[in-house]
């Protein structure tokens, strides 16, 4: 069972309090109807699914109820960073730094 | 009964009586079943898996592969595959041997042993293929009966189990010298500590070693002093009989504590086991090391055992394992065992040392005692049938000598226990000089100390233990510490060619089997393991894995690490299912949600159906009524008079805030701008893919407030879906979402006399159609309590839905019922509700839609706002496959024979005479007998259904073909006059 | 290749089994092949076998990062059935079931295909509707599947608790009598042995690190930890690692990889005669020929390549098992393990050509790929050999996520297994 730090509650809580909400930073365009079928497929179906650093969303569903983002390594399952929804995606340089 | 009174660190004084295979024996308090049986001269305790060979205890602890017995208290409390070396005896314990017929001493299954030359590793892959059908009916049943060990219980388990979570600074797995010292040092620093040990007593190897002195105390005395000190510390929790069975992510360790299995008459309130899930700042693994056996022909006869086990039986339980005991070793520790046995009067005719170089001091000791040592020798044969009787020893070129023995102790060295370390994802590291794997660095906060870290000298162990918790070890004076170094892995003598030299005892894997696997191209250790089943028995290879690996590596002429090490998998020792389950069974298996009106329904004879977590009143049979009759009556009464229905399970979400309407515009396909406060609307929710996700009636209470209802099962995911969009896509919107499902009790009153029923109870709103028309909502008072009254209908009749605070639910329900009953109205359940709504063509999401149906497919195009620039699902609905012709569309069906009720899920074809596989046009989603209409009705999803009105189609059933006609889906009051009454 | 039968076994028994040869070779990789298959699981080895046997292509390398059969082939609970709802699925899985029925004879290797019956339980009215929809659709598709009352279900599986008092009482069951189990390792080994005998190079300990393409975009081969290997056609059959491999060719996939756990009990004498699955209560159980209860758990909720899962997932699984089979409470878990399952948005597999010429992909089997092994391998071999899908796998293409023509078994019936 993962131990997850909620950036809103600022506490480590067991995974049972959370729900994974899939890949982070998938952009829903404001003018959806202008999207091509390929772009729609990219947004709705295609996933990074990386072996390594993954940017993913969690919801503290049985806690504060907030959605937030996390950087987690998918081989060790270690959390490298959590940050609130709406905060920018860490840059590649920042991610490389986290991995050290 | 043989006992050495001066020995036995674990023995009490009380005599205890128990039975094995029906015969009564006596043991002493503190005995394990194995020590007590050996004390009674019984070595034969079981039969092996494949060849049914007679077997005795090889080990004295949890690694035991052979001595597995069935222990039972009563017909329900039967426990197969219990290791006799672990089970403590209690007064009245009943045990019996397994996998034998008719008796342990004479087992007809042993015929397999005669067949054994053919039954080598993987033989079953090569045969039993012809004739093809015979596998299921002939070969497999035969193999299945022959395999398996004990028998599964046949009755429900009357015992209960507990589960606990714990947090601490340091958890120590293993309470031998390393673990005890680590726990002490951690506790001295003020840490909270949990220390566990799988045995009844802490002390580990110290309890089996009578030579060792720590600060002048025996090992057992020193351990007792440590335990006393730790127990006195409030920061320390000591858990004996507790196995650390698994290491999970982020320093969570699973422990299982056995509470009653050693007790004669357990208190009924005690759990049998307790599972601990411990999250620790640091995990100290002090699991120790496990001795390896020697691989030689006949190494499985009862009486042959590990030297360390013999030492444990003697020094912990006062039981010498024989009178005339041979020794076969590649490690110094077996000498210590031999000397101990010699000391208590056992004869040691010979020590056969596989090594050519042996420590001179040890040899001198043996010589002083008059024990003959043969260096560079090996045992080529043993004699005896149910117990070892003699050994044949070869040394040098061709000398061959025989000794009579009644026991043989052996040691091929010690394997550090890497189980938990490896589960923490540390990669084992090969130590070439010592020929063992050592724990690698773990990505988690854990440290291995002592025997499981390959550390030998006790002084080093103490230093390491202290360091592992950042503490300081007290200075101890240590004397007569025996080194565990040395040893070998692999087969000895010519056991790769001749005889049966067991590598894995329980699964009957011999050295020759490993060789065969390698010969057949199994070059990865995982292939060797799976092909031979080496290491896959209930001991999970604790004795066998290193030998198997060494034999394979040798034959492949590759270094051991290149052949690989099989993965260590949880649990460390087999762990009871019931312990994982704990309290989560029976009524606590899954929550059961009940509405405020549930008890009234139960009191009034309702049958219930499970719907998601809810129990819903299904129908209310009167005396003697079948379900069909009850539903018929309920439907008829609603249509003719009225009925009341508990709709409290409907999901309810309060959507409030200045941007509430804008938010609703995004979440639902409908438009919400024009809806006036006080009005209600049927809403459809899609996901981005354009398929129907949920539906429900939404009431607009004010410009900034909506009362949203969802399907019963959908409420949590709908709220999550809304929160997701609100928090992450539209965080600027000023909207608040609150789940109110359990805050409101919802009472539907439906039927021509509905208004008459509730009228006297309602204050603050006029119920006539001018002030409260169909599809409207009003905040008012009902029975004197605040209410939200909807004028809506899921039946097609004049209808109201009363929402009051849940706590008032039952009293308002009863007040409504008190009005309804005298008028001849009924209470109805979900089944009648389904029929009534189907007559009216209302869909149920999840029944008439299945996640592949768009609002257009369901005939709900009218509910999609054309002019909205955006809503969730709008783009998905434009995808090529969602707009193309020939999609399955929701239509009504009438059977040509009006009495025939279709089966839900039945498939529909155009031509019933076509060959299989048939071209299926669609299927029946809902189907009922309509008592009102006097014919059956059905809804179906059919390819291009909207264009097939009037067409005849067919439903091929197993025994008949049913003709149907495609119709519209509204069967009752198509103009909707009734609801506007 | 020496034949496997009772005569050869008897002959070898007399000479101490000294005459058995290697079941497959361990060759060094050549510089160039006609076809490279990435992944030596059942599906990959089977693809090589059918390419050689049915399409005459034998200059094939099957590249494996670890040891053959070591991925999900050797980690699953071996349930085999074909009673899927949609025509496409029924076609694919039934094709597979037919191949299973003669696979031991075809491969001269006893894969222990045991048609002991697979029963799927219904616990509420919705389950019943869904199961009956399957039964009817299966019947018209020629797939065996029948509806059982709770009492009939109990007769078929005596340990089942059909009491009305349990949290989710059994309301009936769908039974596919032709369903069952097989010995997973033997499937990989049997295909490997035959493929190797026909000249296929099975190269273990050889991890693919890149996919090479010509300037015009066509596949030219792969980079591996054992050097560059050329081929005009590359089939990726790598389960949980498919996304990682396809990314090397610039193709992004509609896949997510989740941990899936399974467990076995200690071996006991026969006590569970069939396979029983319950989607609603999440319990999947059978008993192996060795006597172990084989139990499938659920997936964790997050993407992971760790091949380990959480304790609470195992707990939930055993909660469900004990709810339905309370007599097993005193049984003990012997071993638990994890695999990585690649899951598509519609829970149906992808057996498809890709936008890259010469690159083919077979993935997305989620929690239920073992049952499809022979059928999947067979039609995937066809897809590679002809450079166009077989009619059985035509619907399982990558394009469906663009057009919306999904094969959504999950939507239609809770969870696909």
Burial class (CB in 10 A: 0-12, 13-18, 19+), B975: exposed
Question: What's the 3-state SS for B74-109?
Answer: CCCCEEEEEECCCCECCCCCEEEECCCCECCCCEHH
Give CA separation, B161 vs B74, B256, B258, in Å. 18, 10, 10
Q: Which residue of A has its CA nearest to B425?
A: A76
Which spans in B97-235 are helix H? Answer: 111-115, 123-126, 134, 140-146, 177-188, 219-231
Residue bearing tokens 């089939």: C235
d(CA B844, CA B853): 12
- DSSP lists the bridge partners of residue B82 as B69
Three-class DSSP category at B440: coil
Q: Which residue of B has its CA nearest to A29?
A: B729
Cβ–Cβ gap B254/C25 under 8 Å: no
pLDDT confidence band for B1 (50 / 70 / 90): low
CB C251 within 8 A of CB A49: no
Mutate to test the interface with A, among C305, C338, C341, C355 (most CBs of A within 10 A): C305
- Residues B317-339 have a mean pLDDT of 97
Residues in chain C: 417
Cβ–Cβ gap C315/B581 under 8 Å: yes
Average pLDDT score, chain B? 95
Contacts of B252 in chain A (CB under 8 A): 1, 3
Q: Which residue of A has its CA nearest to C251?
A: A46
d(CA B803, CA B791): 11
Which spans in B383-493 are helix H? Answer: 419-423, 458-468
d(CA B277, CA B194): 12
Fold category of B15-128 in CATH: Ubiquitin-like (UB roll) (3.10.20)
Homologous superfamily of B651-740: Aminomethyltransferase beta-barrel domains (3.30.70.1400)
d(CA B935, CA B923): 19
Asked: is B159-291+414-485 a CATH 3.50.50.60 domain? The reply is yes
- DSSP lists the bridge partners of residue B576 as C332
CB B688 within 8 A of CB B876: yes
Asked: is B880-980 a CATH 1.10.150.130 domain? The reply is no
pTM assigned to the model: 0.96
Please report, for chain A, the start and end positions of each structural domain, with discontinuous segments joined by +.
3-99
d(CA B908, CA C137): 9
Say yes or no: C303 contacts chain A, CB-CB below 8 A.
Answer: yes
The CATH architecture to which B296-411 belongs is 3-Layer(bba) Sandwich (3.50)
Contacts of A51 in chain C (CB under 8 A): 241, 243-244, 257, 305
Using CB atoms, which chains have 3+ pairs under 8 A with A? B, C
B486 pLDDT exceeds 90?
Answer: no
B956 pLDDT exceeds 70?
Answer: yes
Contacts of B135 in chain C (CB under 8 A): 104, 110, 112-114
- Would you tell me how many other CB atoms lie within 10 Å of the CB of residue B75? 9
Question: Out of A15, A38, A77, whose CB is closest to C306?
Answer: A77
Contacts of A75 in chain C (CB under 8 A): 304-306
Using CB atoms, which chains have 3+ pairs under 8 A with C? A, B
Cβ–Cβ gap A30/B870 under 8 Å: yes
d(CA B724, CA B729): 7
CB B886 within 8 A of CB B867: no
Q: Which residue of A has its CA nearest to C250?
A: A48
d(CA B119, CA B513): 10
Cβ–Cβ gap B569/C189 under 8 Å: no
Cβ–Cβ gap A2/B425 under 8 Å: no
CB B812 within 8 A of CB B788: no
Three-class DSSP category at A70: strand
Contacts of C243 in chain A (CB under 8 A): 47-51
Q: Which residue of B has its CA nearest to C74?
A: B530
Cβ–Cβ gap C305/A74 under 8 Å: yes
Q: E-assigned strands of C300-403?
A: 332-343, 350-353, 359-363
DSSP B433: T
Cβ–Cβ gap C5/B129 under 8 Å: yes
**CA proximity to B449, closest of B431, B434, B468:** B468
Please report, for chain B, the start and end positions of each structural domain, with discontinuous segments joined by +.
15-128, 159-291+414-485, 296-411, 502-558, 651-740, 880-980
> How close does chain A come to C301, measured CA to CA in Å?
6
Say yes or no: A78 contacts chain C, CB-CB below 8 A.
Answer: no
> How close does chain C come to A8, measured CA to CA in Å?
21
Cβ–Cβ gap A61/B876 under 8 Å: no
- Residue C165: its H or E element: none
Window C:109-138, CB contacts with B under 8 Å: 109-110, 112-116, 123-126, 129-137
- For residues B114-149, one letter each, b for 16 or more C-beta atoms within 10 angstroms of the residue's C-beta and e for the rest, the string is eebbbbbbbbbbbbbbeeeeebeeebbbebbebbbb
d(CA B759, CA B642): 14
ipTM value: 0.98
Cβ–Cβ gap A59/B720 under 8 Å: yes
Q: How distant is the alpha carbon of residue B702 from its chain centre?
A: 50
Give CA separation, B40 vs A75, B3, B36, B200, B886, in Å. 54, 9, 6, 22, 82
Q: Average pLDDT for consecutive 10-residue bins of chain C (417 residues)?
A: 89 91 96 98 98 98 97 96 96 97 97 97 93 96 97 97 91 97 98 98 98 97 98 98 98 97 96 94 92 94 92 95 95 96 96 98 96 98 98 97 90 44
| pLDDT confidence of residue C412 | 62
d(CA B667, CA B199): 60
Say yes or no: C20 contacts chain A, CB-CB below 8 A.
Answer: no
CB A99 within 8 A of CB A80: yes
Phi, psi of A74, rounded to the nearest 5 degrees: -85, 0
| pLDDT confidence of residue B112 | 87
Residue bearing tokens 């021509």: B752
Is there a common fold for B159-291+414-485 and B651-740?
Answer: no
d(CA B799, CA B752): 8
pLDDT (tens digit per residue) in B809-848: 999 999 999 999 999 999 999 999 999 999 999 999 999 9
Question: Out of A32, A37, A61, whose CB is closest to B874?
Answer: A32
The CATH architecture to which A3-99 belongs is 2-Layer Sandwich (3.30)
Contacts of B907 in chain C (CB under 8 A): 133, 136-137, 140
**CA proximity to C211, closest of C71, C352, C359:** C359
Cβ–Cβ gap C327/B154 under 8 Å: yes
B319 pLDDT exceeds 50?
Answer: yes
pLDDT (tens digit per residue) in B108-137: 888 888 888 889 999 999 988 888 888 888
d(CA B823, CA B754): 10
pLDDT confidence band for B549 (50 / 70 / 90): very high
Question: Out of B126, B159, B575, whose CB is closest to C4?
Answer: B126
pLDDT (tens digit per residue) in B159-186: 999 999 999 999 999 999 999 999 999 9
Cβ–Cβ gap A37/B880 under 8 Å: yes
d(CA B974, CA B92): 77
- Residues B436-458 have a mean pLDDT of 95
Cβ contacts of B72 within 8 Å, gap of 6 or more? B78, B79, B94, B95, B96
Q: Which two tokens stand for residue B550?
A: 């060494």
Cβ–Cβ gap C6/B127 under 8 Å: yes
> How close does chain B come to A12, measured CA to CA in Å?
11
**CA proximity to B266, closest of B77, B79, B84:** B77
> How close does chain A come to C280, measured CA to CA in Å?
20
Burial class (CB in 10 A: 0-12, 13-18, 19+), B13: exposed
């Amino acid at each position: 069972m993962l131990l997850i730090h909620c950036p809103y509650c600022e506490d480590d809580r067991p995974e049972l309090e959370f729900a994974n909400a899939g890949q982070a930073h998938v952009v829903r365009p404001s003018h959806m109807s202008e999207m091509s079928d390929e772009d729609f497929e990219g947004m709705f179906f295609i996933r990074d699914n990386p072996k390594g650093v993954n940017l993913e969303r969690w919801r503290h569903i049985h806690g504060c109820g907030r959605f937030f983002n996390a950087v987690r390594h998918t081989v060790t399952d270690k959390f490298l960073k959590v940050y609130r929804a709406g905060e920018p995606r860490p840059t590649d340089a920042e991610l490389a730094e986290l991995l050290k | 009964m043989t006992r050495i009174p001066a020995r036995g660190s674990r023995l009490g004084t009380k005599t205890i009586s128990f039975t094995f295979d029906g015969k009564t024996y006596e043991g002493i308090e503190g005995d394990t079943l194995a020590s007590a049986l050996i004390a009674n001269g019984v070595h034969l305790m079981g039969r092996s898996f494949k060849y049914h060979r007679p077997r005795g205890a090889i080990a004295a602890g949890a690694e035991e592969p052979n001595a597995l017995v069935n222990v039972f208290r009563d017909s329900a409390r039967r426990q197969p595959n219990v290791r006799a070396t672990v089970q403590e005896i209690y007064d009245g314990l009943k045990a019996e041997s397994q996998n034998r017929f008719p008796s342990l001493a004479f087992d007809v299954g042993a015929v397999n042993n005669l067949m054994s030359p053919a039954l080598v590793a993987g033989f079953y892959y090569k045969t039993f293929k012809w004739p093809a059908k015979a596998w299921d009916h002939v070969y497999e049943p035969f193999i299945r009966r022959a395999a398996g060990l004990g028998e599964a219980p046949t009755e429900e388990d009357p015992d209960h189990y507990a589960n606990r979570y714990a947090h601490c600074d340091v958890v120590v797995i293993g309470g031998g010298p390393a673990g005890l010292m680590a726990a002490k040092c951690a506790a001295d620093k003020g840490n909270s500590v949990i220390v566990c040990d799988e045995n009844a007593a802490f002390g580990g190897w110290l309890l089996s070693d009578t030579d060792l002195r720590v600060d002048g105390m025996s090992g057992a005395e020193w351990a007792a002093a440590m335990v006393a000190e730790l127990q006195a510390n409030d920061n320390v929790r000591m858990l004996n009989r507790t196995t650390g069975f698994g290491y999970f992510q982020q320093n969570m360790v699973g422990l299982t504590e056995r509470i009653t299995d050693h007790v004669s008459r357990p208190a009924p309130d005690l759990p049998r086991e307790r599972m601990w899930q411990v999250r620790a700042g640091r995990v100290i693994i002090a699991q120790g090391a496990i001795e390896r056996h020697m691989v030689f022909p006949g190494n499985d006869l009862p009486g042959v055992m590990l030297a360390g086990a013999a030492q444990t039986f003697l020094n912990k339980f006062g039981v010498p394992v024989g009178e005339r005991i041979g020794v076969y070793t590649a490690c110094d520790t077996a000498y210590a065992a031999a000397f101990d046995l010699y000391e208590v009067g056992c004869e040691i005719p010979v020590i056969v040392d596989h090594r050519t170089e042996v420590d001179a001091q040890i040899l001198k000791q043996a010589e002083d005692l008059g024990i003959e040592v043969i260096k560079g020798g090996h045992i080529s044969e043993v004699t005896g049938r149910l117990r070892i009787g003699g050994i044949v020893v070869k040394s040098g070129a061709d000398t061959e000598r025989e000794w009579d023995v009644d026991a043989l102790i052996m040691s091929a060295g010690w394997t550090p226990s890497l189980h938990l370390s490896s589960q923490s994802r540390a990669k084992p590291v090969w130590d070439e000089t010592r020929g063992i794997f050592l724990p690698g660095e773990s990505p988690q906060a854990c440290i291995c100390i002592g025997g499981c870290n390959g550390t030998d000298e006790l002084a080093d162990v103490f230093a390491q233990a202290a360091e592992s918790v950042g503490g300081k070890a007290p200075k101890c004076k240590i004397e007569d510490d025996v080194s565990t170094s040395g040893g070998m892995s692999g087969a000895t003598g010519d056991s790769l060619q001749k005889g049966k030299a067991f590598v894995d005892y329980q699964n009957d894997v011999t050295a020759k089997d490993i060789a065969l696997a390698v010969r057949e191209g199994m070059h990865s250790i995982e292939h060797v393991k799976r092909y031979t089943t080496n290491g896959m028995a209930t001991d999970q290879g604790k004795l066998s894995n290193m030998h198997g690996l060494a034999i394979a590596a040798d034959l492949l002429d590759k270094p051991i690490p290149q052949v690989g090490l099989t993965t260590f998998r949880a649990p460390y020792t087999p762990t009871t299912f019931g312990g994982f389950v704990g309290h989560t069974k029976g009524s606590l298996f899954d929550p059961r949600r009940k509405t405020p009106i549930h008890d009234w329904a139960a009191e009034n004879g309702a049958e219930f159906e499970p719907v998601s977590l809810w129990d819903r009143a299904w129908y209310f049979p009167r005396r003697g009524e079948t379900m069909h009759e009850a539903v018929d009556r309920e439907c008829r009464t609603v249509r003719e008079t009225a009925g009341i229905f508990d709709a409290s399970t409907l999901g309810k979400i309060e959507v409030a805030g200045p941007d509430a309407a804008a938010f609703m515009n995004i979440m639902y396909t409908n438009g919400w701008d024009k809806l006036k406060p006080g009005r209600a609307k049927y809403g459809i929710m899609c996901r981005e893919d354009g398929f129907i996700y949920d539906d429900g009636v939404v009431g607009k209470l004010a410009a900034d407030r909506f009362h949203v209802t969802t399907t019963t099962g959908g409420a949590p995911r709908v709220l999550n879906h809304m929160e997701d969009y609100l928090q992450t896509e539209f965080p600027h919107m000023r909207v608040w979402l609150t789940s109110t499902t359990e805050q409101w009790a919802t009472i539907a009153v439906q039927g021509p006399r509905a208004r008459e029923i509730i009228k006297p109870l309602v204050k603050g709103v006029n119920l006539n159609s001018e002030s409260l028309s169909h599809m409207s909502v009003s905040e008012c008072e009902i029975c004197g309590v605040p209410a939200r009254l909807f004028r809506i209908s899921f039946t097609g009749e004049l209808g109201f839905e009363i929402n009051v605070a849940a706590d008032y639910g039952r009293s308002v329900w009863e007040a409504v019922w008190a009005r309804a009953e005298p008028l001849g109205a009924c209470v109805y359940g979900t089944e009648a509700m389904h029929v009534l709504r189907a007559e009216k063509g209302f869909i149920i999401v999840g029944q008439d839609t299945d996640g592949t149906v768009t609002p257009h497919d369901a005939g709900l195009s009218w509910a999609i706002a054309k002019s909205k620039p955006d809503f969730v699902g709008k783009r998905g609905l434009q995808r090529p496959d969602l707009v193309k012709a020939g999609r399955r569309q929701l239509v009504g069906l009438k059977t040509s024979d009006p009495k025939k009720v279709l089966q839900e899920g039945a498939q529909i074809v155009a031509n019933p005479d076509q060959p299989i596989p048939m071209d299926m046009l669609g299927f029946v989603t809902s189907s009922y007998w309509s008592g009102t209409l006097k014919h059956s009705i059905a809804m179906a999803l059919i390819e291009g259904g909207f264009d097939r009105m009037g067409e005849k189609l067919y439903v091929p059933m197993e025994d008949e073909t049913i003709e149907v006609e495609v119709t519209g889906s509204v069967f009752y009051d198509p103009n909707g006059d009734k609801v506007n009454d | 290749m020496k034949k496997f039968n009772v005569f050869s076994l008897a002959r070898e028994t007399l000479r101490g089994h000294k005459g058995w040869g290697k079941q497959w070779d361990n060759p060094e990789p050549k510089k160039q092949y006609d076809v490279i298959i990435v992944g030596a699981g059942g599906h990959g080895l089977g693809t090589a076998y059918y390419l050689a046997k049915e399409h005459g292509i034998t200059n094939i390398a099957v590249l494996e990062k670890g040891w053959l059969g070591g991925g999900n082939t050797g980690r699953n609970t071996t349930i085999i059935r074909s009673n899927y709802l949609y025509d496409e699925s029924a076609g694919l899985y039934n094709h597979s079931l037919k191949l299973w029925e003669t696979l031991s004879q075809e491969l001269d290797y006893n894969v222990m295909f045991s048609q002991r019956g697979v029963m799927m339980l219904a616990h509420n009215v919705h389950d019943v509707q869904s199961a009956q929809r399957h039964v009817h659709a299966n019947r018209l598709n020629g797939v065996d599947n029948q509806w059982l009352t709770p009492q009939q279900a109990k007769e078929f599986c005596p340990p089942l608790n059909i009491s009305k008092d349990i949290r989710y009482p059994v309301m009936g069951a769908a039974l596919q009598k032709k369903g069952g189990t097989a010995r997973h390792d033997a499937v990989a080994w049997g295909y490997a042995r035959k493929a190797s005998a026909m000249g296929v190079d099975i190269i273990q300990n050889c991890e693919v690190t890149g996919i090479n393409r010509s300037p015009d975009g066509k596949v030219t081969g792969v980079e591996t930890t054992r050097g560059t290997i050329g081929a005009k056609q590359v089939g990726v059959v790598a389960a949980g690692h498919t996304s990682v491999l396809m990314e090397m060719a610039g193709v992004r996939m509609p896949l997510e990889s989740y941990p899936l756990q399974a467990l076995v009990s200690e071996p006991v004498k026969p006590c569970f005669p069939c396979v029983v699955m319950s989607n609603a209560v999440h319990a999947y159980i059978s008993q192996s020929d060795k006597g172990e209860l084989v139990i499938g758990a659920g997936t964790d909720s997050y993407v992971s390549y760790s091949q380990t899962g959480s304790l609470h997932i195992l707990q939930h699984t055993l909660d469900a098992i004990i709810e339905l089979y309370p007599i097993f409470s005193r049984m003990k878990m012997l071993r638990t393990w994890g695999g990585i399952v690649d899951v598509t948005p519609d829970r149906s597999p992808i057996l498809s050509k890709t936008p890259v010429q010469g690159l083919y992909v077979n993935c997305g089997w989620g929690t239920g790929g073992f049952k499809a092994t022979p059928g999947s391998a067979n039609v995937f071999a066809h897809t590679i050999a002809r450079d166009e899908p077989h009619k059985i796998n035509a619907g399982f293409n990558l394009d469906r996520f663009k057009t919306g023509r999904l094969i959504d078994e999950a939507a239609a019936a809770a969870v696909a297994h």
